[in-house]
A and B are shown apart, each in its own frame.
Chain A
Amino acid sequence: MTARDAIVVGGGLVGAAIAHGLRGQGLDTVLLDEGDVAFRASRGNFGLVWVQSKGFGAPWYQQWTRGSAGEWPALAADLAARTGIDTALQQPGGVHLCLSEAEFDDRAARMARMQAEAGNHGFDHRMIRRGELDDMLPGLGPSVVGASFTPYDGHASPLALLQALHRAFTEAGGAYIPNAKVTGGSAAPHDFRVETAAGAFTAPRIVLAAGLGNADLAPVFGLNTPVRPQRGQILVTERAGTILPMPTTTIRQTGEGTIMLGDSMEEAGFDTRQAPPVMAQIAQRAALCFPWIAELNIVRAWSALRVMAPDGLPIYDQSDRFPGAFTANCHSGVTLAGAHARLLAPMIAAGALDPVLAPFTAKRFDVQTAA
């Protein structure tokens, strides 16, 4: 049995970012991961560092997301300096393409409301008509009528990020332990123990960041994380010469030159099979946006499971019953990596979540149930 300052359960992007942050706070941290075959949403991530559609009706989420996008350059620089890995961060702003006047009007209303909700926090955005959009993006299809733009948006490589976090954490003295799926545990205030295939671990702090695994794990530690899987499918083309200057909500060109096409939102439980009809719809929409994409080969595609709370927002909590037990759950492991590593981890190290995270408590679901 190994005693540490902190245990982080889950070696995906959320857990790895928090573990990296905790190590940066000087905590002796162990990061427990599953093996090679795991749902691992981080391996299926689309790779946007995306702000513009986050937090409609929930301005605190908009603020947290924007804060994370703001932390990203420092995170990327830190990881590059520590590991030499380029996470391919680019934040040129981003667009959401509208394929009809109805979509455009709906988008405009949505963006206006988000601005209103943002209050004096601000929400810089523009609705852009076709003529101006043609100067921003190459070869738009005839059905594109316009787009919304915000300067906050960008993208990065989820896979480079995952490797860089693991490597930076390890090289700073953190213990990354794969093949260590948690099989049991026990809790007392500031005194936690977990059993894994790789042995038992104890610490006065524990962070549950096990994605879909949190749903079963949380009650043991006095937490509630009612997350469910939501399937998303993504297509990726072969490498092409650099052509897209900025990402859209569903199409982005990676640092390698491949073009990623997303994505679907399917309620399919834990079924990770691919569905050709859904893949076809993704391809169809991409070709409507950029007809020249049609001639590119799709070399890879996959389906993965998002970690979704009932209202689609993240869940951050500290256990009332067992202080020292925290949980982090979201479907935006890339976007929120900046916040997780640089804002959330210091809070956990200090022993209390900042009030800005209060709206993210899972207690919000208790209220809804009672109402």
Chain B
Amino acid sequence: MIHDLAIIGAGPAGMAAAVEARACGLSVLVVDDNPAPGGQVFRAAEAAAPDPAVGPEIAPGLALIAAFRASGAEYRPATTLWHLDPDEGLLSLAGPQGVDEARARRVLLATGAQERAVPIPGWTLPGVMTAGAAQIMLKTTGAVPAGRTVLAGQGPLVWLLAVQLARAGAAPLLLETRSTGLAAALSQGGLWSGRRLLAKGLALMAEARRRGVRVVRPVRGLRAEGTTRVERIAWDGGAAPCDTLLLHEGVIPQTHVSRAIGVDHAWDAGQACWRPVTDGFGASSHDRIAIAGDGAGIGGWEAAVAAGRLAALDTARRLDALDAAGVAARSAAPLAARRAALALRPLLDAFYAPPASVLAPPDDVLACRCEEVTAGAIRAAARLGATGPNQMKAYLRCGMGPCQGRICAPSVAALIAEVRGVPPETIAPLRPRAPYKPITVGQLAASAESAQQPPQ
């Protein structure tokens, strides 16, 4: 069977798109590699909502998850997309039932965001995690770091997590790396349209202080120290004992699949990352592929919900399930919602711009955690003649390990740009190849049974 729309990712954008597309009468397949819907922001929402530590922020997702579950979309959790042929609309999947294929007239990538790597000295030590990882622990198990917890970095998630940990009785020491002054960020505007989100943010900061979160700012020169695990966090002019170090410098789009299939991407200077080029309804440079949510550029979950709905409406129009008037009528609300949700974004991007040392770390820091390649080795290879991450990967294996460059590729590109003295947008991103996530030789061999024979 051929689905009208296949959606990769059951986060806010994917769920909203599925609901809207089903309302337009389309047949929908949703593939997600997590065991439950929600994406990152609403991860395990159904189970976590009663927990007072995270409940207030996760509750808004419950209605969306319920609507998604009731939508009639075919939902395949715990299933990985390992190859996508955009020309044929052919998805190669691996899940609990083994390896199989699915076909769709249109494919929506709603792959969401990942945290920007924060390669500081000592960041591979056990006990150093991302802030998002600690939040996932809280949402999925209710657990909090034991002992002395330090939360270092900047961004909205830092304040949210500080509050959530404090509510759970584990208030961290917050080392804020923000160096942008408020005045510079305010010049980006958006205060009025974004006043609701701004108020939420200010309330979080107030709650953090009220709950006893101690804040040190601005912090530079962060380094995790310890022998077999993190024992101490040090910075220029200070240090503190530390059992768990949580790092965060914002989030970037997950573009692994969109880069692998070769749709156009553009450098987003404000967010210091690559994002796929999309129109207002999520259409990419490939006529079968749409991209919505944080995977198309960071905007937060409310913008993602709106973008998912818009991409679904555009799909319905393309498949003649909705006429232009219908699209106009149904897109007014999500267009307005997205405008409001994105109003504050330039201010946030400017306020929480990552420091240069995070983008291009010092020489002795491992930039590639899988193959254990230092920033210094990458700089040396850039001087030798690697002009981009693909040649760098060939020289040094950075990007060849299990994560396939998901963590190190932005650092590698930034290091090359620094050494060669060129702007970051001139370093084309790493080209990922299938399998997008590992599958076993046996799984792949089994798929040969059903697969059509290739032309010789």
Contact partners of B389 in chain A: CB under 8 A: 36
> Does any Cβ of B come within 8 Å of A162's Cβ?
yes
- State how many angstroms separate the Cβ of B68 from the closest Cβ of chain A: 29
Q: Which of B395, B400, B435, B452 contacts A298 (CB 8 A)?
A: B435
CA distance A123 to B47 in the complex (A): 70
Return the chain A residue nearest B391 by Cβ.
A36
Max chain A C-beta neighbours (<10 A), residue from B395, B401, B428, B434: B434
Q: Once the chains bind, are A43 and B445 in contact (CB under 8 Å)?
A: no
User: Which residues 373-393 of B have a CB within 8 angstroms of A?
Assistant: 381, 384-391
| Known pairs A163-B395, A274-B83, A274-B433; A37 contacts B440 (CB<8 A) | no
Q: Once the chains bind, are A301 and B434 in contact (CB under 8 Å)?
A: yes
> Does any Cβ of B come within 8 Å of A71's Cβ?
no
- What is the 8 Å Cβ interface bit string for chain A, positions 119-160, against chain B (1 contact, 0 not)? 000000000000000000000000000000000000000010
| Known pairs A178-B387, A283-B448; A297 contacts B438 (CB<8 A) | yes
Q: Which of A35, A256, A276 contacts B434 (CB 8 A)?
A: A276
> Does any Cβ of A come within 8 Å of B1's Cβ?
no
Return the chain A residue nearest B262 by Cβ.
A273
- What is the 8 Å Cβ interface bit string for chain A, positions 247-284, against chain B (1 contact, 0 not)? 00000000010000100101100000111111111011
Q: Once the chains bind, are B404 and A301 in contact (CB under 8 Å)?
A: no
Q: Once the chains bind, are A235 and B441 in contact (CB under 8 Å)?
A: yes
> Does any Cβ of A come within 8 Å of B439's Cβ?
yes
Q: Which of B385, B400, B448 contacts A277 (CB 8 A)?
A: B448
Q: Which of A261, A264, A284 contacts B448 (CB 8 A)?
A: A284
User: Which residues 393-442 of B have a CB within 8 angstroms of A?
Assistant: 394-397, 400-402, 404, 427-428, 431, 433-435, 438-442
Q: Once the chains bind, are B433 and A298 in contact (CB under 8 Å)?
A: no
Contact partners of A23 in chain B: CB under 8 A: none
Q: Once the chains bind, are B441 and A293 in contact (CB under 8 Å)?
A: yes
Max chain B C-beta neighbours (<10 A), residue from A176, A286, A287, A296: A287
> Does any Cβ of A come within 8 Å of B92's Cβ?
yes
> Does any Cβ of B come within 8 Å of A20's Cβ?
no
Contact partners of B381 in chain A: CB under 8 A: 163
Return the chain A residue nearest B399 by Cβ.
A300
Contact partners of B390 in chain A: CB under 8 A: 36-37, 43
Q: Which of B394, B439, B442, B455 contacts A43 (CB 8 A)?
A: B394
> Does any Cβ of A come within 8 Å of B179's Cβ?
no
| Known pairs A159-B394, A277-B451, A277-B452; A36 contacts B441 (CB<8 A) | no
Contact partners of B448 in chain A: CB under 8 A: 277, 280-281, 283-284
CA distance A277 to B396 in the complex (A): 30
Contact partners of A284 in chain B: CB under 8 A: 445, 448
How many residues belonging to B are interface residues under a CB distance threshold of 8 Å? Answer: 41
> Does any Cβ of A come within 8 Å of B444's Cβ?
yes
Q: Once the chains bind, are B441 and A261 in contact (CB under 8 Å)?
A: yes
Return the chain B residue nearest A273 by Cβ.
B85
Max chain A C-beta neighbours (<10 A), residue from B397, B448, B452: B448
- State how many angstroms separate the Cβ of B402 from the closest Cβ of chain A: 5
Contact partners of A298 in chain B: CB under 8 A: 435, 438-441, 444
| Known pairs A159-B394, A163-B394, A297-B439; A281 contacts B385 (CB<8 A) | no
> Does any Cβ of A come within 8 Å of B228's Cβ?
no
Max chain A C-beta neighbours (<10 A), residue from B83, B397, B440: B440
How many residues belonging to A are interface residues under a CB distance threshold of 8 Å? Answer: 50
Q: Which of B427, B440, B451 contacts A295 (CB 8 A)?
A: B440
Q: Once the chains bind, are B454 and A281 in contact (CB under 8 Å)?
A: yes
Contact partners of A281 in chain B: CB under 8 A: 448, 454
CA distance A251 to B390 in the complex (A): 24
| Known pairs A280-B447, A300-B404; A162 contacts B440 (CB<8 A) | no
Return the chain A residue nearest B444 by Cβ.
A283
- State how many angstroms separate the Cβ of B181 from the closest Cβ of chain A: 37
CA distance A33 to B444 in the complex (A): 36
Q: Once the chains bind, are B385 and A37 in contact (CB under 8 Å)?
A: no
- State how many angstroms separate the Cβ of B263 from the closest Cβ of chain A: 13
Max chain A C-beta neighbours (<10 A), residue from B391, B435, B438: B391
Contact partners of B386 in chain A: CB under 8 A: 36, 178
Q: Once the chains bind, are A287 and B395 in contact (CB under 8 Å)?
A: no
> Does any Cβ of A come within 8 Å of B453's Cβ?
yes
CA distance A35 to B397 in the complex (A): 18
| Known pairs A36-B391, A295-B442; A277 contacts B453 (CB<8 A) | yes
CA distance A298 to B80 in the complex (A): 14
Return the chain A residue nearest B388 by Cβ.
A36
Return the chain A residue nearest B380 by Cβ.
A167
- What is the 8 Å Cβ interface bit string for chain A, positions 224-244, against chain B (1 contact, 0 not)? 000000000001011000000
Contact partners of B452 in chain A: CB under 8 A: 277
CA distance A159 to B381 in the complex (A): 13
28 A–B contact pairs at CB < 8 A? A35-B388, A36-B386, A36-B428, A42-B394, A159-B394, A163-B394, A166-B385, A176-B385, A179-B387, A266-B455, A274-B434, A276-B434, A276-B451, A278-B454, A279-B434, A283-B441, A283-B442, A284-B445, A284-B448, A286-B441, A294-B445, A296-B440, A299-B401, A299-B402, A299-B438, A301-B434, A301-B435, A302-B433
- Excluding A159-B394, A178-B391, A298-B439, 5 further A-B contacts by CB distance (< 8 Å) are A43-B391, A261-B441, A283-B444, A286-B441, A301-B434
Residues of A near any B CB (own CB < 8 A): 11, 33, 35-37, 40, 42-43, 159, 162-163, 166-167, 170, 176-179, 235, 237-238, 256, 261, 264, 266-267, 273-281, 283-284, 286-287, 293-303
